[in-house]
Chain A
Amino acid sequence: MVQKGLRFGLLLGCLIVAVGGCCTMPSYNPAFWNDAGTVQSKNNCYNYGNNKRTDTYAQPGKASGQTLTWGNMNCADVRKAAVADGLEMLPASGVCPDKKDKVALVVDPGTDYHWYRLDTSGTWSHKPGSGQATNRDNSNNSIMNPETANRCGQWLCYTEFCGYHCACSNADEGKGHEKIN
């Protein structure tokens, strides 16, 4: 009986590994994203935050059948779309479960959204659109806290800090486990 239980547990564990994979925090490794070619131009902040290369300029909710419009460029709607994709809301403990990675969402209301991710170094990094991945904010300072980082640039300012989510990332760049598209 015990033997059968162990076999079932093993099989289930294997299936989980094969389909979803284990979550691990990413390190800061911008070279993978900054290829000045396909990876850089076709992967945005949502790809980078989730550490998942899709080459589709992934949009929150798209993988789960939702389409965000200008009117949805607010914290509540983008968060809802990300949750539909599988990203968890950060628990009250402030710690992501199952070794998931903490990601942060900010918005320029009615205009655009932006994501940051926490790296193993304890600092944050991001990828502004089709630009290069970086661990610097708009003042060229290291991002110790996305809530206080300079998030204002020319014609766009991500004034609203929406909160944190937990994403199933990977130690290998571009191979996160969230189902985004």
Chain B
Amino acid sequence: MFGADRSTKCFAFAVVLSVLMLVPLCGAAAGTQPTEFAGLKVTVLLFSGRPDPSYIIDDAASIDRVKKMLEVAKEAKFEKPTVTPSILGYKGIVVENARNVPGIPSRIAVYNGTIETGLERKKFLADESKTLENYLLDKAIESKVIDEKIVKRMKSEEDMRKDTH
């Protein structure tokens, strides 16, 4: 319907307008937010839509316990790129060490008795008794960051497991 020159003009106009609209956004995106806490940020990967619950571990005793649990975990070999599954429901726990707490990797992911540490050079560990995972989940419940409804589901599942053993 329209000639080629008109299509070209239309495209050029759209590009110029889009660039003008995007320029103010670039400055905002370049800024970085300072980390506001001095410890480990623990996020329980639960939801799909809503933000996942998270809490901070910043006391020396708890950090030390995490450190010791990592030390006793045995090295394991995995074929998969990550231990956290891509499913609905609970997908594990992520610990971020943005403040470089000594002796703790920059990132830890835990799921179903397996631990993944580091970002680019990942190391996998086995924690068959789920010591670290259960510790972090218990702390999440203590911190009251997990909704009561979900805590009830967690506890009823635990009770069912105990009954079957």
Question: A residues bordering B, Cβ < 8 Å?
Answer: 6, 10, 13-15, 17-19, 36, 44-46, 57, 59-60, 68, 70, 73, 78, 110-115, 126-134, 136, 138, 151-158
Inter-chain CA distance A107–B17, complex, in Å, is: 39
Query: Of residues 115 to 165 in B, which have CB atoms within 8 Å of A's CB atoms?
Result: 119, 147, 149-150, 153-154, 157
By a CB distance below 8 angstroms, the chain B residues around A15 are: 17
By a CB distance below 8 angstroms, the chain A residues around B18 are: 18
Interface residues of B, dominant DSSP? loop
Inter-chain CA distance A129–B85, complex, in Å, is: 11
By a CB distance below 8 angstroms, the chain A residues around B21 are: 18
Contacts A78-B49, A129-B47, A158-B88 aside, 10 further interface pairs with beta carbons under 8 A come to: A10-B2, A17-B14, A36-B82, A111-B147, A111-B149, A115-B48, A127-B48, A131-B45, A131-B87, A153-B90
By a CB distance below 8 angstroms, the chain B residues around A113 are: 48-50
A163 to chain B, nearest CB (A): 16
Of chain A, the residue at the smallest CB distance from B109 is A36
Inter-chain CA distance A68–B51, complex, in Å, is: 11
By a CB distance below 8 angstroms, the chain A residues around B14 are: 14, 17-18
Inter-chain CA distance A70–B82, complex, in Å, is: 30
Count of inter-chain pairs, beta carbons less than 8 A:
113
Of chain B, the residue at the smallest CB distance from A105 is B49
B81 at the interface (CB under 8 A from A): yes
Checking B10, B13, B86, B149 against A131 with a beta-carbon cut-off of 8 angstroms, the contacting residue is B86
Number of contact residues on B: which range applies?
20 to 34
Query: Of residues 1 to 24 in B, which have CB atoms within 8 Å of A's CB atoms?
Result: 2, 6, 10, 13-14, 17-18, 21
B88 lies within 8 A of A138 (CB): yes
Query: Of residues 32 to 46 in B, which have CB atoms within 8 Å of A's CB atoms?
Result: 45-46
When A18-B18, A57-B51, A111-B150 are in contact, do A138 and B10 touch as well, CB less than 8 Å? no
